[in-house]
Structure 1
């Protein structure tokens, strides 16, 4: 079944939603660990969590296994529009850039540009959900649940505060998507052309894993400052310590060193490496299913007309 056959936007949206929810249900505990490690200030003996295993064990021992899924509702609600927007925007921006540059097929530079633009588009969807999730995942969280975060944030900081961290999120999403989709294109071009479905799945898993890993290597510093920006409440008349991305990067670097910009990297890459592969396989499989349904229906319509 050809992947070149286009589908209406609604099918891209649904396939992206299925892919995103599948990934978050499988990989979410690693996201909780990543956030905990990003929010802790200090390193070495000063740090509460010395590593991924230590963080996992302390959360389970001191707070219970269920804490590893604390705050999962916002990501589940977010993942459908987020991942759907990611893949649909990538497809639509790809078509746009090919028309603008007069190119018939996607190439490496266009893959990077398309991914970055899709990431910036995606940021507008994810920011409120990310803010609620971060504030729930924080060990010192004062909130009962997602609705409590939403109510107290809006009442105490204003409706616009739900977009606290938009600039940092645009950096994070754009850089990750540029790396992810750009690497996927490059890896697939180097792999043997798949003949069977199992070979295609293997290529998707491998390219998605490498793409997710590279994207994580590039965007982790921006993710660290985004977590700290969104954790901090907005108090009228008070400029928060972590505000805009460039100065927040400088603050973390000066106060905690370069390595602090990669706090939470291991659980993040453990999630987004395999998660990138899972997401790509589920997305492509779902799109192929939709193509069979969509074009199969078209054939039946033509038969009935004849």
Structure 2
């Protein structure tokens, strides 16, 4: 949906049905390998960076505990850190998912991109990816802090699970609202084929946002929002549940000084 240009309206269900009708069910899983390989290191970097930047900003600010403002800044910094890990995997995924793609698979994408553009070609769309993760993580971690503050304190483990899921889901929703326009731009940049001597139509993030807004209207900046938010809102809740559960296991096994 994000790679389609113009003002035509293609909803999620219509797009899904069209892909199945024209290309078969298997096409829905095109580009599956890069996200699978990326998921664990990406999430590890996200939360490790959030912990690192949180401690750093607390020390610099002189605050004794996390505030709303610091949680947003910390999240944005964690997203910026995470983006450097993500770019090559996202590039391969987008190249494979493009409707006009003729690549045989992930390795073929890497081989052809490196052959044509060098190793730095795998980092096409770095700037747009940076902003995508910067804003998503700022919204995600900022909302977790805010939602936890207004929810009743959990009295049981089940209550704590519920609070974590709700705050993570709200964070995932808000993060997706903030970052979808940047995701659209990233997809356009990474999906384009570079032509020697020709300046790409979509190059830098914020000028590209203006171009899409002017040529296709404001709704084009939210192409693909429905499937993204259906994945990332509950996914944000599950992610926080898993992280908190895992940290709890390690705290119990190793003791507070280590975790």
Q: TM-score range by the shorter chain?
A: over 0.9
Consecutive unaligned residues of structure 2, counting only runs of 5 or more, are none
User: Mind listing any 5+ residue stretches in structure 1 that lack a counterpart?
Assistant: 1-36, 299-306
SS in 2 for 1:103: coil
- Pick 1 or 2: higher relative contact order, CA cutoff 8 A, min separation 6: 1
- Equivalent residues in 2 for 1:145-294 (5 A)? 145-294=105-254
In the aligned structure 2, how far is the partner of 1:236 from the partner of 1:121?
A: 31
For normalisation by structure 1, the TM-score amounts to 0.81
Match of 2:4 in 1: 40
Length-normalised TM-score, structure 2: 0.96
**C-alpha distance in structure 1 between counterparts of 2:64 and 2:44, whole Å:** 24
Report the Cα offset of residue 88 of structure 1: 0.5
Shift of 1:98: 0.6
CA RMSD of aligned residues (A): 1.4
Aligned mates of 2:33, 2:230 — CA distance in 1: 21
TM-fit CA distance, 1:276: 0.5
Q: 2:81 aligns with which of 106, 121, 131?
A: 121
Moved over 3 A (4+): none
Q: CA–CA distance in 1 between the matches of 2:98 and 2:253? A: 44
Distance 1:279 1:67 in 2: 27
Whether 2:35 is the aligned partner of 1:75: answer: yes
TM-superposed CA distance for 1:66, in Å, is 2.3
Is contact 2:75–2:138 with CA below 8 Å preserved after alignment?
A: yes
Task: Compute the displacement of 1:80 (Å).
Answer: 1.6
1:132 to 85, 92, 101: 92
